[in-house]
Amino acid sequence: MACSSVARMKLRFFVYPSMPGGTDQTLRPFLWRAANLYPDTEIVSRTHQGIDRYTYADYDDRTAQLANALDEHGIVEGDRVATFCWNHHRHFETYFAVPTIGAQLHTINPLLPDEHIQYIVDNAEDQLIFVDPSLEPKLASAAADAPEFEGVDFVIMGDAEGEHLDATPYESFIDGQPTDYDWPVLDEDQPAGMCYTSGTTGNPKGVEYTHKMLWSHTMATLTPQGIPMDDDDVVMPVVPMFHVNAWGMPFTATAGGAKHVYPGPSPDPADIAGLIEDEGVTITAGVPTVWLGLMDYMEDHDVDLSTLDRVIVGGSAAPEAMIRWFDDHDVELLHAWGMTEMSPIGSVAHLKHDIAGADYDTQIDHRSKQGLMVPGLEFRVIDDDGEEVAWNGEDFGELWVRGPWVTTEYFMRPEATEEDFEDGWLKTGDVVTVDEEGYIKIVDREKDVIKSGGEWISSVELENAIMAHDDVAEAAVVGVPHEKWQERPVAFVVPGEGADEDALREGIMDMLREDYPKWWLPDSIEYIDEIPKTATGKFSKKDIRDEYSDQSLVEGSVPEEAAPESDD
């Protein structure tokens, strides 16, 4: 720890072997660059014990120690090593140690139900699972008397033994191991990562990422048209590391030599605000509900966002009001879209140079969309007749995507592969329009678009419009079966504190009437305490439909003026 940066560079310098054929599209060079060029740049982590910080040089040492420990444990090339963890430095150590010894890192979503966890551990054939202390009871519950966990070993992330599992403390696991490692030359098509979709029906579907896929994804996101990160950035992924590798941010930040900040277990808005202030965060990312929480927190607390340049939003669309709110605080809110099957980034809502010079409302209109496809990917939009849809901003179709970091199959699920892929194209299930400039706008998921009287209503667009009301905290819109019109929209709203519910209901309807045809208007506005969330923080419309909505909400309630066929 006392040696100089120059000394560290001399100690760490070596000629990295090239891949056969002269290629080297693997993850290891990203860490090599960070450890050699930025040995003193910090990695900061909020843990159960407090703030932990060290440097890329220290991280490089500990990654080598973990690699040696995995060897000693018996992990060999092709084995799958899983994590059941929040965002912190130890979890980050597995990101490079596991793939670069030739094993495969499988990040498990701890918010999934036990039966799904049992299924994916069995399906992936995990050999070893790293688990956080706070998540140990959850994993123990899933593992109890479950044959799917036979032969699986556990390491608990910290320096204490497990209370519910026979688990080795992480610090004991790596203690005494050498701080150098003879990293193997790996084929770029070697599987490096694995993540399962958090589907709402059926078992989750496994997606494998090769080194080449993760390398390509990282290089694309480093471009100005992606989500670039430089050596003067401080990057804090709030999006979970168990969710598609935190959108690839740990790899991108390392490749760029940026400082990492990890918010740790279950960060609340106060934790997020404190880390932004204390660590000088410049780039952060998460689903809209995270930023709605921060916005609400800042109503009663003075938070300094002066270092923050950019907030990345994905998972679901950010309301236009949220984009304007961050603009008012001199922070760019940048829309990104992707999928587990895409490693995951697909499009980013950067402004073309001519649009950047347009009026503010025009800019907001484009920034509210899912944006432009990043370099390296191709897309098409296909209608119900199998024909490509024109880029006119009006016609709908399903978005199909292909490219070097887009998978072409699900792990051991040929029937799902046959359903979701065609001739190398991923059929995303997202219904979109594309404007003349090529900006993609997600109208809805195929399963969530509301089909009323032969016409389509975008639940996403209605939700964003409703959440633009000052007295609305959250809103979700679902289609409810209707005897005559097939489906009708019903809005489920979480009112803001102190809101007059009767006045709010009328205010929402008045606001919607200004911008939408009569037949788009919700037949009912129902108040609930909280919008149910999926395991990745998105609004769970399936849970809303199951728990709250029934036909009585719309039976006999559609005025003739709201009927689709009556609107001119």
Q: Could you report the per-residue pLDDT of 392-451, keeping only the tens digit for each?
A: 999 989 999 999 999 999 999 999 999 999 999 999 999 999 999 999 999 888 778 787
Strand 378-382 and strand 372-373: the pairing is unpaired
* H-state helical runs in 235-281: 244-247, 249-256, 269-279
pLDDT tops 90 at residue 516: no
d(CA 430, CA 397): 8
Whole-angstrom CA distances from 303 to 172, 264, 329, 462 are: 39, 20, 11, 31
d(CA 55, CA 38): 9
Is the Cβ–Cβ distance between 208 and 341 less than 8 Å? Answer: no
Mean pLDDT of 273-277: 98
Neighbours of 414 (CB within 10 A): 9
Smallest CA-to-CA distance from 489 within 566, 567, 563, 554 is with 554
pLDDT tops 70 at residue 144: yes
Domains plus CATH for the chain? 448-566 (3.30.300.30)
d(CA 179, CA 61): 5
Q: Could you report the per-residue pLDDT of 155-204, keeping only the tens digit for each?
A: 999 999 989 999 999 999 999 999 999 999 999 999 999 999 875 557 89
Percent with pLDDT over 70 in the chain: 92
Mean pLDDT of 122-134: 97
Return the DSSP state at 97. H
pLDDT tops 70 at residue 560: no
- The confidence band for 487, taking pLDDT boundaries of 50, 70 and 90, is confident
pLDDT tops 90 at residue 551: no
Is the Cβ–Cβ distance between 280 and 236 less than 8 Å? Answer: no
Buried b (16+ CB within 10 A) or exposed e, 32-43: bbbbbebbebbb
Mean pLDDT of 12-28: 58
Query: Which residues does the annotation mark as catalytic?
Result: 197, 341, 451, 456
d(CA 172, CA 220): 38
In sequence order, which residues have a C-beta less than 8 Å from that of residue 29 and are 6 or more positions away?
A: 16
In sequence order, which residues have a C-beta less than 8 Å from that of residue 345 and are 6 or more positions away?
A: 217, 220, 221, 226, 227, 247, 248, 336, 337, 338, 374
Burial class (CB in 10 A: 0-12, 13-18, 19+), 92: buried
Number of H helices, E strands in the chain: 19, 26
Is the Cβ–Cβ distance between 248 and 221 less than 8 Å? Answer: yes
Report pTM. Answer: 0.82
Q: Coil, helix or strand for 536?
A: coil
